[in-house]
Every structure is written in structure tokens, then in C-alpha cells.
Structure 1
Amino acid sequence: MLNVHSIESLGTYDGPGIRLVIFLQGCNFKCLYCANPDTIAYEGGKSYAVEELVQMAQRQRPFFGKRGGVTVSGGEPLMQAKELIELFRRLKEEGINTCIDTNGSILTSASKTLLEHTDLVLLDIKHIDGSKHKKLTGVSNERTLAFADYLAGINQSTWIRYVLVPGYSDDPADLHALGRRLTGMNNIEKLEIQPYHKLGVHKYESLGWPYELSGVSANTPEQLNVAKKIFEGYVKEVVVN
């Protein structure tokens, strides 16, 4: 059984093509800008059997086309890596593309087995600087960077995702440092810049949590363009989502 927060049909921002996106409950990070803070606690989700999710994917298969499929996001999906192995095995048996969206902080034997059945990894790198990463997420970035190295070592198709938070993760020196860190990783097909937004602020109010970035404004077009040009010096394809 998988502990699921929510499910989105016909998703277009979480991997290639049209996708069924399964958001799992529970996360080991607490990002200051998290748009889904209600996914952080492991409690509170709904249990789904693997076959229920496979049947859901089969029903939506006509919309997938050649590139679409199923993306598992969160929360942090690798917290349930062991349970996900059977889901991805079944999806691959059905010829359905599999994708996982992760912060890369959990590299276990179960995670490694899951990757054997994964077509694409969306790796969320929150910050290249360790202390700034901890300020943003509450934890170190060492495991995420080690995970990136592991993906490169097994030549796992990967898209990097990077949230550009003004004043927190948009320093050009840090962007260049991340770019240099990714240089030579031939498995990285794309880098997606995720603009900072406040669409989840109302959820903090309902949870009774303070939103600590209330004074941070959305990115300007110039900020996004600067970041895009920097990353283009290191990664073959860069897009702004």
C-alpha cells in the first residue's frame, strides 16, 4: 500500500508529455517555500493498493501518447521507495513511462532497485551551498549531491529542477557553482528553473504555520533570464517552467 496525498490527471509540468501525477504523503525536508506543506507530515494521506494505481494509469493511457506516463512526486516519494518498486514494475510491464520527482536525499537499496524501473528522475537540487541549503530546507545537501553522483554513475536519465528564490537561491556565484558541479554529468538532459511563487501560502494559514518568506517577491523576468543564461553555459537544455 502507498500513502498518497493526492492524484493529478493530465499533468504537463512533471516530466515529458501528459502524465498521471501521484503525490505521496510525507517529506523529510521542510523547505521554506514549500507549496504543499500539507504533504510534509507522513500522517494524513489515503492508502492505495498498487493495482488501483496501475488501473488508473491504464484508463488514462490514451492521453499519454508516445512521451507521457506516470510521475510519482510528493512530499518525498523515496520515503516509500520499497512500496514503489512493485508499482513501477507493474507500470513497466504495461509499457508505461515512469518518472520520479525527488529531493535525492534517500539513497538506499530500495531506492537503487526502484531506479532500475525508472525511466526519468526529476532531481530537485535546492541549493549548491551547504549552509544556504540548510537554511532553505532544514537539512544538509550532502545526500542530494551524492545522489546526483550516483545517477551520473549509472547513466540514469535526469532533469535537474531548481527553484529560484530571490535573495536565497539566485546569487550568480551559486548558480555558476551548481553549473560547474553538473558539468560532465552526461545523464543530465535538461535543467528546469522553477520560478518562486506563493500559491501555497493559504495552506500555511490553515495549518497554523508562519510563512517565513512573506516578504519575498516573485522573480522578475530579468532575474529568470540571468539564471537561464548562466545555466545554459553548463547544461545543454535550460527551460523556465
Structure 2
Amino acid sequence: MARMQVTLDVFQNAHRTMVLDNETPWSHPLLYRNFMPRSMQADLLASEQPTSAIECLARLQALIIYQTIRLFDDDTSARLAAAMTMPALRSSLTYFLQNVYVDDTLAFGNPPISSLLEEPSSSSAADHGLSRDFWQTWIFEESARRTIFLAYLLIRIWEVMYIFSNNNDKAEQEKKQQMRKNHKCDGRLGSSHCWYLSSHLWQARTRYEFALAYAEKNRFLIRDLDFTEFLAFGYPDDVDMFGKMVLSASMGIEAFQNWCSARGGM
């Protein structure tokens, strides 16, 4: 689990960063700047699945936070609670995938750079066909892409922890045996996924910073953990905390540090 240390550290502190900074590496700090969704405040297990896209995402993110608090607690009862509520995370992930369409604005929108600086309600933005806020749309899309990946990752971490847990109950042992048979390492966490590796886009805090990063900085679409293009052409300053989590887990911490050093970082 050594190569997972960065990821585990982030998971263990996710609830603190969400409360203090209103962000995690998979939830953009401006995602909820206009309002706080009910899912972040309500009893998740008692509430029904929401209908709006932003509320669906908030519920999934809240369940991830909920699970990280319990899953990585040394208290046995907390881990038991995590196991009992894992189906809620699975069902919320499935519901999100089935009911919320996550487009790729950067790939298909391709608006002129000048239009990114315009408010979507302005006449100039309307002339370019931007009826919605390009930047805010991307914030939602990228938060969703990262959250989907993290949900799959957290579920897989729990499965591994469960399989190797000390439980001599016969029924549990049979369940673990079946999980071992079904547990395949396909390099994709069991499902296709993608997200952008670009600290410049993710860390932009104004429309101008986002437009500048879009025009001048690297961005890499990481699909199914394929880092080939990034490792060949990327640089350490392209990597934000989410990228560091995934790269260190995928490559190993030492290999990732060696790559950074070879590319002029650290």
C-alpha cells in the first residue's frame, strides 16, 4: 500500500479540507460558491436520490467524504459502519452515471479565446453560441469526472481492505472468496473514465486565469489511467494534487518523484 500513501493521506483529510476550504482535489472550490446543496447538509442515508445534476454530484461527493471518515478510522465500529453504507455509495454512483450526462466542453465547445472572457449573458458571448457559462460548466464537468473516478477508487480500496480483513465468520469468508474471484485488475478500476490533468485550469480562480490557461498551458485528457502522452510532454507544474494522488499510486511514489526530477521539478 506504500504507493497509495499520498492518496490515503488525502482521503483521511478530505473532510477537513471540505469544511475549511470548501474543496477537495475532486471538488472544485467554486463548484458550490452560489449555494450549498441539500446533500451536504441532510441525512444522506435517509434522503432520496436528488433530481438535479448538481445535487446528484453533491450527494456522491458527500458519500465519499462520509465513507473516508469511517473507512480509515482505526475504530472497528467505524469500519463496520463504512461497510454497511458502501451500498449507498455504489447506488449513488450508478444513479449519477445513469441520470447525469457529463459532456466535455473543452473538446467539443472549442469557443474563441476572447469569448471565454465574456459573461455568458453578454451579446458577444451570444454571438459565439455560448448560452451557458463556459467556465462554470467546465468546473461542474471536471468535478464530476474526478468524483466518478474517486468513487470507483474508494470502492476498490474498500474491497481490498474487506478481502484481507480478519473475519472468521463462515458466511463472510465465503463472501470474500467470491469477491476474490470477481476482483480483476484491469487497470481501469472496472469502468472506463477520464479526467483532465491540468493544474493551470483547475487552479484558475477567475475567468481571465482560466482563459489564459486554456490558451497557453498544457492540458492532458487522461483516459483509463493512460499517462503516455503526459509523461512524454508534460511537466511537474502541470500536476495538481489530484494528479499527484493518481500518478503516485499508478507509478509508485519514487518513480513519480524521479520523473519530476528528470523533467526539471522538485
TM-score, normalised by the number of residues in structure 1: 0.27
More helix by share: 2
Structure whose CA Rg is larger: 2
TM-score, normalised by the number of residues in structure 2: 0.25
More strand by share: 1
